[in-house]
Structure 1
């Protein structure tokens, strides 16, 4: 995929911030672009005040405290005038609501929110965040583009070294690591899975089967929550977790997942399933219908995410993580951290790990009595 100018600018800013000062010719080599392109990029960033340029060199600009913040205790209390940065892996599906919640909270506080998107490329997260700092962000909300533990280990250490307050969004760190000392706000996906399994058991089903992706922190948390919920409920797994994949990206893998679920149902081994995520669940229900398995008559099904679950032909019962509230609470926490830093600069605040509980929205696909409701 060809790199955009904005992505190249973020990389350039990260290089200058790391070095303090750099020659434009050296930056061209590090960026893998022509000297003409490097000079054009430097001019554009210098014009915006994001870099200082002198005689063929660029440097990271000094950013003194803004007088209006220092002289206005009211602004410090409310967050008015603050600039906040938000790094998200996507602006669609799950994270659209997280971003919306953050934007609403920033607006209520009188702060400005600046957004960068990583497209689930964790190797670009640091440069994107440097771009936010260059744009004036005084604190950042960060949802790294990690897909699994290996990404967190390879591309996570820099977060603990940021020169501004940072709050992790919908991401957890390994216990005892520097990253674990950061503030964070997350959905408790384990609780969401437990709600779903308990509801299906109360409807008279045996142990539900899990059909789940494995390509995101949410997917991995759902898988871990499933194993934990089985233990909490005193259940044994009815079979291995069925690996789900997007039908448009891997049609053969998707068909394997459908066939595995079909065989589990028609053999009488299971009568209920939890499926991550909504889109996969809708397509699985459609394909099962082609094979003669009906939802909820033959299979009670609950989806995970509740982005589009209500729009299925048979509206899907779904676990709904509190996505908008995650964005809102994280932004409020970041504003609090920034105002504390001005009001009590010598006091080290206690960090917070805030877990918000998902809800279960009951619809037709689980076979419960009609009428949507939340649990």
Structure 2
């Protein structure tokens, strides 16, 4: 299977993180892509603040998660040492797109607490999560922030039992296990995606539209939560879905499947089935809007549209209204909770009750919904 841009970005970031800095030409050679492709990747990552770029080279930003072995935060004693500060391990499925902000929030909170944060990336391979976490423990992690690389509904049962046996305090990030399962007893900090979907559907209805269509992926916990949140939002508002959910796939990995999804949306608009849509995620939404324009469907004139995630929605030709989960705050609150757990353990302060902290997304209104319908 061809490597996606997100996977290539993760490999690029891993190389720069390990070295601290690298020449763009060297990165192109090591990643096996053309100089044009790597320059485009570097530009994208630099705009999002994940890399610093200077005269043909890139470096790891000073305010980002530091390379392994670097000292950070108050009390740092030099490479590899952080005085008496805590060492926190973090497992994330990606260092780009959605989780870039989660990681940034975790790093900021760790730095304020005088702790060192060390990171491992799973590349959404849940079968490798356990081994990568063992690597964090071997590197000295005293507590864990864990966002497993689950992609499908069955992954928590197949690749989750090991988390409950970790020998250190653990906080789940942006993952909501089944109620009553062993994982459900862990601390966790999550975005309430159901609330985010309800905000989007209610906004479109308030503008005069009927129930919007949902076009969504099914390859991540967020996508699954958006789908279930859509059903719940329609129930709360007393609406019926205009038709079945349109299954979406990444355009770069499955162009034919993506085209089928866009054509299904176009047909729904032309036939009058729907005048509004919610699309997960906003990268897909931008590509959908571009393709719809080529097919004669204009946003927002013919279709009011809301994207989900709000990573790049504001950068579209027609800025997209988007649901924005509080990604950075998820990382910050999870880290603060973990530091509190470890501080209590060090001071023999006693164990506090486990916590499930749910943060609410917000709706950022832009141009893609147009004006209220008459």
> How would you bin the TM-score normalised by the shorter chain?
0.7 to 0.9
Report how far residue 235 of structure 1 moved: 0.5
Partner of 1:365: 368
Partner of 2:304: 300
In the aligned structure 2, how far is the partner of 1:151 from the partner of 1:368? 42
In the aligned structure 2, how far is the partner of 1:190 from the partner of 1:152? 20
Partner of 1:264: 268
Alignment of 1:73-112 (within 5 A): 81-112=85-116
Partner of 2:141: 137
Partner of 2:329: 325
The answer (yes or no) to whether the contact 1:362–1:368 under 8 Å persists in 2 is no
Report how far residue 226 of structure 1 moved: 0.1
The answer (yes or no) to whether the contact 2:223–2:280 under 8 Å persists in 1 is yes
In the aligned structure 2, how far is the partner of 1:225 from the partner of 1:117? 28
Alignment of 1:176-325 (within 5 A): 176-325=180-329
1:349 aligns with 2:334: no
Report how far residue 80 of structure 1 moved: 6.1
Per-residue CA distance 1:149-199 (angstroms, 9 max, x = gap)? 211111100101110000000001111111110000000000000000000
Query: Structure 1 regions of 5+ residues with no counterpart?
Result: 8-47, 49-67, 69-78, 370-375
In the aligned structure 2, how far is the partner of 1:174 from the partner of 1:201? 31
Aligned residues: 296
Per-residue CA distance 1:105-148 (angstroms, 9 max, x = gap)? 00000000000000001011001001001000000000000002
Report how far residue 348 of structure 1 moved: 3.2
Query: Structure 2 regions of 5+ residues with no counterpart?
Result: 2-10, 15-67, 69-74, 76-82
In the aligned structure 1, how far is the partner of 2:370 from the partner of 2:214? 18
The answer (yes or no) to whether the contact 1:276–1:305 under 8 Å persists in 2 is yes
In the aligned structure 1, how far is the partner of 2:303 from the partner of 2:115? 48
In the aligned structure 2, how far is the partner of 1:313 from the partner of 1:304? 17
- After TM superposition, the runs of 4+ consecutive aligned structure 1 residues lying more than 3 A away are none
In the aligned structure 2, how far is the partner of 1:368 from the partner of 1:308? 22
In the aligned structure 1, how far is the partner of 2:351 from the partner of 2:341? 10
Per-residue CA distance 1:250-297 (angstroms, 9 max, x = gap)? 111001100110010000110000000011000100110011000000
> Alignment partner of 1:325: what SS?
helix
Partner of 2:130: 126
> Alignment partner of 2:296: what SS?
coil
Partner of 2:49: none
Report how far residue 340 of structure 1 moved: 1.0
Report how far residue 96 of structure 1 moved: 0.2
Report how far residue 343 of structure 1 moved: 2.1
> Alignment partner of 2:197: what SS?
helix
TM-score, structure 2 normalization: 0.77
Q: 2:169 aligns with which of 165, 169, 174?
A: 165
In the aligned structure 2, how far is the partner of 1:80 from the partner of 1:243? 51
TM-score, structure 1 normalization: 0.77
